[in-house]
Amino acid sequence: MSALNIPESNLKRVVVIGGGFGGLKILNQISSKYYQVVLIDKNNYHNFQPLLYQVATSGLEPDSIAYPLRKILWKKSEFYFRNTKALKIDSENKRLVTEAGPINYDFLIIATGSKTNYFGNKVIEEKSMALKSVTDALNLRSLILENCEASLLTSDLEERERLMNYVVVGGGPTGVELSGALAELKKHVLPKDYPDLDLRRMNVHLVEATDTLLGTMDPKAGEKAKEYLTKMGVNVWLNTKVENFDGSTVKTNNKELPSKTLVWAAGVSGNLIDGLDSKSIERGRVLVDQYNRVEGYDEIYCIGDVCLMKSDENPNGDPMVAQTAIQQGGLLAKNLNSLAKGKEMTPFSYSDKGSMATIGRNKAVAEVGKFFFDGILAWLVWMFVHLMALVGFRNRVVALINWTQNYITYDKGIRLIIRPFKNREKD
Amino acid sequence: MSALNIPESNLKRVVVIGGGFGGLKILNQISSKYYQVVLIDKNNYHNFQPLLYQVATSGLEPDSIAYPLRKILWKKSEFYFRNTKALKIDSENKRLVTEAGPINYDFLIIATGSKTNYFGNKVIEEKSMALKSVTDALNLRSLILENCEASLLTSDLEERERLMNYVVVGGGPTGVELSGALAELKKHVLPKDYPDLDLRRMNVHLVEATDTLLGTMDPKAGEKAKEYLTKMGVNVWLNTKVENFDGSTVKTNNKELPSKTLVWAAGVSGNLIDGLDSKSIERGRVLVDQYNRVEGYDEIYCIGDVCLMKSDENPNGDPMVAQTAIQQGGLLAKNLNSLAKGKEMTPFSYSDKGSMATIGRNKAVAEVGKFFFDGILAWLVWMFVHLMALVGFRNRVVALINWTQNYITYDKGIRLIIRPFKNREKD
């Protein structure tokens, strides 16, 4: 038995850190004929990040977008899961140090994903809300509902306005989808819940530093998203940079927005782990070769958001999205299987399957290959793709029921402050 | 505007404290022709307590058994909800003091329900888990899953046993249903999730101080429940009283049970509110006459678990169950309507609609009038009754899907440690 109580085996041991999109793909493709596989994750569930904004805005319950990691390993022999936090790589001794003790590896795969990037602004980090984890989403859901309740309880009109306003920073898919969902709450749900609140005073602001929304997509997507959002009542501020936030006013380079709630979705950086040589790190990500092997290490691999695979044609690496992690995870698993069979490994190349974002009811933008489309067709495709991507039959059915009911009734039913956000750490 | 920003009205104002079964029935039956109604609740949702044990054991998501209170008030004029905590009754000035300020009332209805009763044992109160709120249930769900994960991470066999054992105290419906659900987790779910854990070492103990389970039901119910539980592997200890718990061993009057988890479901007491004369309180509940009017007050009423309506035939009052609260709430609303019309009020008498408890798959006991039945019929009736009692179409459909999937697959899918219990306060 090792320190994590993993039975010894004649097979080589692959330790995977992180049960996100990339980690799951490894588990799915690697062969237990050749390897014993140990998954380490600080959470016991896989979390479908693209739908976190729906949890935050009461459209889906958190349990629909999360899936127990152990259930994914059911009936797989030679696969182990340990629910603990990875702390440090000790590459000399080929072991990973975790909160529950060290574990030896033959191969280590870093699949730790990304975290919110505050670009060093500690004040914003402390005072803003993020949207990267299920806990973040539940905290934001509680806070939005608490803000509404608190607005009713104050007679101070300025305070009320600050409680009702939202500033979402970052015009990527998360920011666009969240501000659209907030506009829908304002239009369809809150007027029925709060007939005695003057909702004309509620403002949703989307702030983006560059001159376009959805900057990674076709320029038409950004324009269309801006048109949709503006029509839905969202104030879109392009070329605007948030500089400070004191908890009640958001200061940008060109205006002040009165709001107690700032949601920071303006960037991510690699979720690094200690112990790698600094030469292997660039721009907060782990440098890998075309086989996802970490520069300078033979037995350590890295996939997904946390890695940076540069090439001459592609100096910034592939996009930090689920597709990259899935494709790299799939290929790496196959490559490790090949390695065990003495075959050659295949170098990675990213295949763009397209991208999309939903803004609201019947409103989405999608890009597939050279085709761009929007409106209800894009919206239906978005729903279908996301529904199918959820792990587990139950989750799909429950999400479908929620979406169907939301569509028919214009309602979002899960408006529960189950754990108040007040007085809680953000973890 | 009053201090809670409720618009003034020509109608008399009824303030209801608590959106449980009793409070909801009041809202449903009282006429807005005669009264302005203000509901005060510290939570923004109604919580279906009879199914909390299913949330704790990963069978249902919390969002299925909770329902937003504001949604219940949709389209009702003259009804207001304020999400704040009631602190004290100031009966001289006819006002209720809340955390958000005072509010005047013409009539006050106390519907605050009950809380866990530790019978003064502070050590147990501090170290045990309760099962009275959604937060309690989520904490218990997290702890059960954390215990399993921690068992795998320790090599200390005694420690492992203590992590895997459960002591449930109290042989009422909550204790019986919870220990049955734990036994099912042990049998059907955990072996697949934890193939490397020796589950023969896991023990579920149900401890009851009297000589029977389900003491409020027909004696046959208690016998059958004991038979079912024993067959499912639960150790049922009757005539056994828990005396102490140091966080790793439960001490009773006749044995010691090694366990780190003690769930206290051994009793409830009224959730009292400050400000009533001590003469109006007996055995931790508020004394009311047959119109649910609090002894000594003309404008204050009290319904449900928190009140005690004694009579010569019924010196202990009616049972502290949902049915009592619902029936009292319904009648009180009608009586207040009658009062406004100058008609006479009707005295309350409890009508026993029967009671039931589910122990596991196809195993339940039910009592309706003089009829007692058990097995799959009782189980189906239990499911139907509880499904229909859930508030909201979405909640019913989602619960039905979960139950159907659990039944077919022998699985309980919602095994997520979304907020770890460790290092968290209990509510």
What pLDDT, on the 0 to 100 scale, is given for residue A423? 45
Residue B7 lies in a domain: no
- The alpha carbons of chain B give a radius of gyration, in whole angstroms, of 22
B413 vs A82, A145, A392: nearest CB:
A392
Give the CATH number for residue B141. Answer: 3.50.50.100
Residues (pLDDT < 50) of chain B are 1, 423-427
Instruction: In whole angstroms, give the CA distance from residue A48 to residue A134.
Output: 9
* Cβ-contact A390, A65 below 8 angstroms: yes
Beta-strand pair B35-41/B45-47: unpaired
**Per-residue pLDDT at B56:** 96
Instruction: Identify the pLDDT of residue B422.
Output: 62
Tell which of A266, A284, A316 closes a domain: A266
Size of interface A-B (CB pairs under 8 A): 146
Same domain, A249 and A159: yes
The 3-state DSSP class for residue B2 equals coil
pLDDT digits (tens, 9 = 90+) for B152-180: 999 899 999 999 999 999 999 999 999 99
CB contact under 8 A, A192 and B74: yes
Helix (H), strand (E), coil (C) string for chain A: CCCCCCCCCCCEEEEEECCCHHHHHHHHHCCCCCEEEEEEECCCEEECHHHHHHHHCCCCCHHHCEEEHHHHCCCCCCEEEEECCEEEEEHHHCEEEECCEEEECCEEEECCCEEECCCCCHHHHHHCECCCCHHHHHHHHHHHHHHHHHHHHCCCHHHHHHHHCEEEECCCHHHHHHHHHHHHHHHHHHHHHCCCCCHHHCCEEEECCCCCCCCCCCHHHHHHHHHHHHHCCCEEECCCCEEEECCCEEEECCCEEECCEEEECCCEEECCCECCCHHHEECCEEEECCCCEECCCCCEEECHHHEECCCCCCCCCCCCCHHHHHHHHHHHHHHHHHHHCCCCCCCCCCCCCCEEEEEECCEEEEEECCEEEEHHHHHHHHHHHHHHHCCCHHHHHHHHHHHHHHHHHCCCCCCCCCCCCCCCCCC
Rounded Cα gap, residues B425 and B162, in angstroms: 22
Q: Do A193 and B402 touch (CB under 8 A)?
A: no
**Looking at B107-266, which runs of residues are DSSP E strands?**
107-110, 114-116, 166-169, 204-207, 235-237, 242-245, 249-252, 256-258, 261-264
Choose from A416, A425, A427 for mutation: most chain B CBs within 10 A.
A416
Return residues 401-420 of B near A (CB < 8 Å).
401-402, 405, 411, 413-419
Query: Total domain count for chain B?
Result: 2
Interaxial angle between packed helices A21-29 and A322-340, expressed in degrees from 0 to 180 and rounded to the nearest 10: 30
On whether both B126 and B210 belong to a single domain, the answer is yes
A144 and A253 belong to one structural domain: yes
Co-location of B179 and B309 in the same domain: no
Considering the domain boundaries, does residue B48 fall inside one? no
- Residue B124 has phi, psi (to 5 degrees) of -65, -40
Is B177 noted as a catalytic residue in this protein?
yes
Task: Find, in chain A, the residue whose alpha carbon is nearest to that of B192.
Answer: A74
- Tell whether B204 and B249 lie within a shared domain: yes
Contact assignment for A394 to B416 by CB distance below 8 Å: no
Residue B416 lies in a domain: no
**Hey, is the C-beta of B62 within 8 angstroms of any chain A C-beta?**
yes
Instruction: Kindly determine whether residue A413 and residue B68, on different chains, have CB atoms separated by under 8 Å.
Output: yes
- Of the candidates A66, A155, A414, the beta carbon closest to that of B416 is on A66
Task: Let me know: does B115 contact B309? Beta carbons within 8 Å.
Answer: no
Which residue from B99, B178, B93, B194 is spatially nearest to B141, judged by alpha carbons?
Answer: B178
Q: Are A323 and A287 within one domain?
A: yes
**A155 → closest Cβ in B5, B68, B402:** B5
- Domain with A225, as residue range(s), is 122-266
Tell me, yes or no, whether A135 and A153 share the same domain.
Answer: yes
The domain boundary residue, chosen from B216, B245, B266: B266
B70:A194 CB<8 A: yes
Chain B contacts in chain A segment 184-223 (CB below 8 A): 192-194, 196
**B112 inside domain:** yes
Q: Specify the pLDDT at position A2.
A: 53
Q: Which residue of A has its CA nearest to B7?
A: A196
Residues of B in contact with A138 (CB under 8 A): 418-419
Residue-wise pLDDT for A20-37, tens only, equals: 999 999 999 999 999 999
Closest Cα in chain B to A41: B149
Q: What is the least distance, in Å, from the CA of B231 to any CA of chain A?
A: 27
Comparing alpha-carbon positions, the chain B residue that sits nearest to A427 is B419
How many Cα atoms are found within 13 Å in the side-chain-facing hemisphere of A240? 23
How much of chain A exceeds pLDDT 70, in percent? 98
Strand partners, B249: B258
| Nearest-CB residue to A402 (from B75, B192, B394) | B394
Please indicate, yes or no, if residue B168 is contained in any of the structural domains: yes
Token pair in block for residue B300: 């204050």
* Whether A157 contacts chain B with CB within 8 A: no
Quick one: tokens of B117?
Answer: 């009763």
Say if B140 is an interface residue toward chain A (CB within 8 Å).
no
| Co-location of A142 and A259 in the same domain | yes
Q: Is A397 on the interface with B (CB under 8 A)?
A: yes
- Shortest alpha-carbon distance between residue A74 and chain B (Å): 6
CB contact under 8 A, B419 and A196: no
Which of chain A's residues have a Cβ under 8 Å away from the Cβ of B100? 153
Q: Across the interface, do A155 and B63 touch by the CB < 8 Å criterion?
A: no
The answer to whether B156 contacts chain A (CB < 8 Å) is no
pLDDT in tens, A82-138: 999 999 999 999 999 999 999 999 999 999 999 999 999 999 999 999 999 999 999
Per-residue pLDDT at B2: 53
Are A128 and A262 part of one and the same domain?
yes
- Report the chain A residue with the minimal C-alpha distance to residue B72: A193
Nearest Cα to A261, choosing from A339, A185, A363, A350? Answer: A185
Does B44 touch chain A if contact means CB atoms closer than 8 Å?
Answer: yes
Q: Is B53 helix (H, G, I), strand (E, B) or coil?
A: helix
Q: A66 and B394 in contact by Cβ < 8 A? A: no
The domain boundary, picked from A245, A266, A287, lies at A266
Per-residue model confidence (pLDDT) at position A414? 85
Q: Which of B61, B177, B184, B367 is catalytic?
A: B177
Alpha helix (H) ranges present in B94-172?
A: 122-127, 134-153, 157-164
Residue B382: which of B352, B403, B410 has the closest Cα? B403
Is B352 a domain residue? no
Contact A278/B at CB under 8 A:
no
Q: Tell which residue, A153, A146, A156, A194, has the closest CA to residue B5.
A: A153
Residue A230 and residue A153 in one domain? yes
Share of chain A above pLDDT 90, in %: 84
C-alpha span between A351 and A215 (Å, rounded): 19
**A-interface mutation test, from B410, B414, B421, B422, most A Cβ less than 10 A away:** B414
B129: left (phi over 0), alpha (psi -120 to 50) or beta: beta
Backbone CA torsion sign across A383, A386, A392, A395 = negative
Q: Are A394 and B405 an interchain contact pair (Cβ–Cβ within 8 Å)?
A: yes
**And the tokens for A88?**
């440090």
Among A44, A154, A193, the residue with its CB nearest the CB of B416 is A44
* pLDDT value of residue B75: 78
Is A407 inside a domain boundary? no
Buried/exposed B13-41: b ≥16 CB within 10 Å, e otherwise: bbbbbbbbbbbbbbbebbeeebbbbbbbb
Residue of B176, B162, B140 lying closest to B58 (CA atoms): B140
Contact B166, B212 (CB under 8 A): no
Chain A neighbors of B402, CB-CB under 8 A: 394
Please give the Cα distance from A75 to A371 (Å, whole number): 41
The CATH number of whichever domain residue A31 belongs to comes to: 3.50.50.60
Minimal-distance CA residue of chain B relative to A392: B413
pTM over 0.90: yes
What is the arrangement of strands in the sheet containing A166-169, beginning at the earlier edge strand? A235-237, A204-207, A166-169, A261-264
Does A218 fall in a domain?
Answer: yes
Same domain, B196 and B274: no
Token pair listed for B46: 């109604």
Residues in chain A with pLDDT values less than 70: 1-2, 422-427
Q: ∠ CA B14-B19-B23 to the nearest 5 degrees?
A: 55
Check A82 against B393: CB less than 8 A apart: no
Chain A residue with minimum CA distance to B103: A153
In contact, B68 and A416? CB cutoff 8 Å: yes
- Asked if residue A241 and residue A278 are part of one domain, the reply reads no
Query: What ipTM is given for this predicted complex?
Result: 0.91
Q: Tell me, what's the pLDDT at A409?
A: 87
CB pair distance less than 8 Å for A149 and B1:
no
Instruction: Give the per-residue pLDDT at A380.
Output: 94
CA distance A136 to chain B (A): 11
Catalytic residue numbers of A read: 177
